[in-house]
Amino acid sequence: MNYKSISKQFSRAAIALGIVGVLATGQAGAQDQIPSKPEPGTFKIGIEPWLGYGQWHVAASKDLFKKAGLEDVELVNFSEDKDINAALASGQLDAANIATHTAMGMVAAGLPVKIVSLLDFSLKADAILAGSDIKSVADLKGKNIAFEEGTTSDILLNYALASNGMTINDIVRVPMPAADAGTALIAGRVPVAVTYEPYISTALAQDKNIKLLFEAGKDPGLVSDVLVVREEVLKQKPGQVLAMIKAWDAALADYKANTEEDRAIISKAVGASPDDLKTAFDGVQYYTSAEAAKAFAGDFKTKTFADVLKAAKTAGLVTQDVSADSMIDTSFVDAANK
């Protein structure tokens, strides 16, 4: 099983299924007043088997949603982005956990959603791996590179190449799932692979000649995940959205106090053992709402957003510019910290 979303590719076809029905909702904008008590009813949030979203599983396991005042929270599981995108577009979900560049693709296609919080950065959990003959990113020119197109691996590879004056056309693409890329490298079928944890640790453990060539942490936030909410929901159920963010904070506080216990909860939810994911957990940085608010007012908005957008456009995953100001609604993380 893949522990990160199987595909971080944005699907215009999927969004088209529901975009007509939701465009009439208009722009939600910043909330003038967010009720402290959640509205009644169910809150449905889309989630995939990636440990970066793990605090939702902690919240569910330890009744933290109810403690935040929410009547019912439904974690709706998906294995591919195209399905979670379609469900969000058609109004089957209130919110979704997605990659930053996927959110950009949604907004570029006209789907009215807002980023309301920052969930995680992958610092060491996504990387380019290479054999002993590859000494630097410059050495990638002309080489066969295994990676999953349309995913965070695609974003990372394009960014690394651009940082060294190259483009994707300077390498030989070998498309394959990220789960297989590390195996192909170990087997000697390719000299370079782009993948993520736990496949990084597996490759490094099985072949001592394999090394980390480039990690996502070279530009913190390049590979990151955000919480997006439909603008219609921001208008109709702002109290629920705020309560969800508070529940995430409560789960993250519990995680920091009971790390081993909560890692077991998250690992079980994504179909792995804590031992398998130890390195993966260590390579992920979770964000509280206070940290998200600080990031939105600082580097995430002024630098990271631009870097992700540039890499996504270079990879062909986003076809037009979008702005941080139009996409990010900071009022909920601000309200969570009043």
Q: Which of 44-53, 135-144, 165-174 has the lowest mean pLDDT?
A: 44-53
- Environment class of residue 320 by beta-carbon count within 10 Å: exposed (0-12), middle (13-18) or buried (19+)? exposed
Cα distances (angstroms) measured from residue 131 to each of 195, 204, 211, 212: 14, 10, 6, 9
pLDDT band at 297 (very low <50, low <70, confident <90, very high): very high
Residue 47 pLDDT: 93
Contact call for residues 120 and 225 (beta carbons, < 8 A): yes
Amino acid letter, 12 = R
pLDDT band at 193 (very low <50, low <70, confident <90, very high): very high
- Mean pLDDT over 87-106 rounds to 93
* pLDDT band at 62; cut points 50, 70, 90: very high
Across 260-331, the runs of DSSP E, i.e. the strands, are 284-286
The whole-chain average pLDDT of the chain stands at: 88
pLDDT of amino acid 27: 37
Interhelix angle 238-257/289-296, rounded to 10 degrees, is: 110
* pLDDT for the residue numbered 32: 55
| Residue of 231 and 196 predicted with greater confidence | 231
Is pLDDT at 12 greater than 70 in this prediction?
A: no
Please tell me whether residue 75 adopts helix, strand or coil conformation: strand
Task: Give percent of the chain above pLDDT 70.
Answer: 91
Long-range contacts of the stretch 137-141 (C-beta < 8 A, 24+): 137/161, 137/163, 137/164, 137/166, 137/213, 137/214, 138/164, 138/166, 140/164, 140/166, 140/170, 140/171, 140/192, 141/166, 141/170, 141/171
Rounded average pLDDT over 199-203:
87
Q: Domain boundaries in the chain?
A: 43-122+222-337, 126-218
Given a cut of 60, is residue 8 above it in pLDDT? no
Rounded average pLDDT over 112-132:
95
H or E element that contains 98: strand 95-99
Do the two domains 43-122+222-337 and 126-218 of this chain adopt the same fold?
Answer: yes
The CATH architecture that domain 126-218 belongs to is: 3-Layer(aba) Sandwich (3.40)
Mean pLDDT for the stretch of residues 262-274: 91
Angstrom distance (rounded) from CA 3 to CA 199: 10
Highest-scoring range by mean pLDDT, 205-209, 239-243, 313-317: 239-243
The CATH number, out of the four listed (3.40.640.10, 3.40.190.10, 2.40.340.10, 3.40.50.620), of the domain defined by the range 43-122+222-337: 3.40.190.10
**Confidence band (pLDDT; 50, 70, 90) for 278?**
confident
* Beta pairing class for 72-77 and 192-196: unpaired
Q: With bands split at pLDDT 50, 70 and 90, how would you rate the model's confidence at 2? A: very low
| Distance (Å, whole) CA 194 – CA 273 | 23
- pLDDT for 85 equals 84
Cα–Cα distance measured from residue 205 to residue 75, given in angstroms and rounded to the nearest whole number = 34
pTM here is: 0.83
Give per-residue pLDDT as tens, 154-184: 999 999 999 999 999 999 999 998 889 999 9
Buried b / exposed e over 15-31, threshold 16 CB at 10 Å, is beebbeebeebeebeeb
Query: In this predicted structure, what is the pLDDT of residue 19?
Result: 40
Mean pLDDT of 59-87: 92
What pLDDT score does 279 carry? 83
Q: Which of 50, 62, 60, 63 is nearest to 258 (CA)?
A: 62
| Joined tokens for residue 66 | 């109810």
pLDDT at 28 over 90: no
pLDDT band at 14 (very low <50, low <70, confident <90, very high): very low
pLDDT at 5 over 60: no
Of residues 141, 337, 122, the one with CA closest to residue 219: 122
Residues 266-275, mean pLDDT to the nearest whole number: 88
